[in-house]
């Protein structure tokens, strides 16, 4: 069975069980993989390479939000100048590629245009099996671009292909996406505070 397991008569009851699903999904994240992802993002930013993100639907919203937190957020009080770009945010180039080539190529084609060895691709996909996301990872691996896949459900092909897989155990899109968003925030906020003066951390809003 997948959550919800039953019909609910009250939103309070649904909330309690949803909250429990979030807690269990957060617990499922591999802390060693999260540590490796944090170090890879930090090294990419320190080397002045570009971090790319991508995803579809709700995952596209997380990929776009990632730009804000990993660019403006990480730069605050740190002296860092992260170069972060979402492949999901440019409707003009996405629709051009989808129309002229194929929708499955909307991310890989953008990487072919602007990605360089030493850059980093972060994909967000609940299924881990979206064809355009999988092709982006395949292009990245063939062109010396590091990869972090943030996945749910079974992990799909993304989990197997990426250099680092941040897998969230869950079977509800909302729960998985909520935890994916949290992981995005955790990575950005950790990187920021790690580069800040210790006396500033408690004084600033994150």
Q: What is the C-alpha separation between 57 and 128, in angstroms, rounded? A: 13
Q: Is 190 exposed, middle or buried (0-12, 13-18, 19+ CB in 10 A)?
A: middle
**Per-domain residue ranges of the chain:** 30-201
Query: Given phi > 0 = left and psi -120 to 50 = alpha, else beta, which region is 155?
Result: left
Residue-level pLDDT at 24: 98
Instruction: State pLDDT tens for residues 149-190.
Output: 999 999 999 999 999 999 999 999 999 999 999 999 999 999
Other Cβ atoms less than 10 A from the Cβ of 98: the count is 15
Q: What is the mean pLDDT of residues 57-72?
A: 98
Planar angle of CA 145, 149, 152, nearest 5 degrees: 170
Beta bridge partners of 85: 52
Distances (CA, A) of 67 to 26, 84, 104, 170, 206: 22, 6, 22, 25, 15
Tokens (6 digits) for 191: 């990187």
Contacts of 3 (CB under 8 A, 6+ apart): 17, 18, 21, 170, 171, 172, 175
Other Cβ atoms less than 10 A from the Cβ of 181: the count is 19
136-140, 156-160, 202-206: which range is least confident on average?
A: 202-206
Class of domain 30-201: alpha beta
Model confidence at 1, pLDDT cuts 50, 70, 90, reads: confident
Contacts of 203 (CB under 8 A, 6+ apart): none
Q: What is the C-alpha separation between 60 and 125, in angstroms, rounded? A: 9
Instruction: State pLDDT tens for residues 65-120.
Output: 999 999 999 999 999 999 999 999 999 999 999 999 999 999 999 999 999 999 99
Between residues 13 and 1, which one has the greater pLDDT? 13
Other Cβ atoms less than 10 A from the Cβ of 38: the count is 18
Q: What's the whole-number average pLDDT of the chain? A: 97
């Amino acid at each position: 069975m997948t959550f919800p397991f039953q019909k609910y008569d009250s939103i309070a009851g649904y909330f309690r069980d949803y909250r429990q699903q979030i807690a269990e999904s957060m617990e499922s994240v591999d802390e060693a993989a999260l540590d490796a992802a944090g170090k890879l993002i930090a090294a990419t930013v320190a080397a002045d390479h570009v971090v790319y993100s991508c995803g579809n639907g709700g995952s596209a919203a997380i990929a776009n939000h990632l730009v804000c937190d990993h660019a403006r957020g990480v730069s605050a009080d740190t002296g860092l100048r992260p170069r972060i770009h979402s492949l999901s945010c440019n409707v003009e180039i996405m629709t051009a590629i989808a129309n002229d080539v194929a929708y499955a190529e909307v991310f890989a084609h953008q990487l072919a245009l602007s990605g360089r060895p030493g850059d980093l691709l972060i994909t967000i996909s609940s299924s881990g099996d979206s064809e355009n996301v999988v092709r982006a990872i395949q292009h990245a691996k063939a062109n010396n671009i590091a990869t972090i896949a943030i996945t749910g459900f079974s992990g799909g092909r993304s989990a197997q292909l990426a250099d680092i897989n941040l897998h969230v155990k869950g079977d509800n899109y909302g729960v998985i996406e909520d935890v994916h968003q949290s992981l995005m925030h955790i990575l950005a906020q950790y990187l920021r505070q790690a580069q800040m003066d210790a006396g500033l951390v408690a004084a600033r809003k994150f």
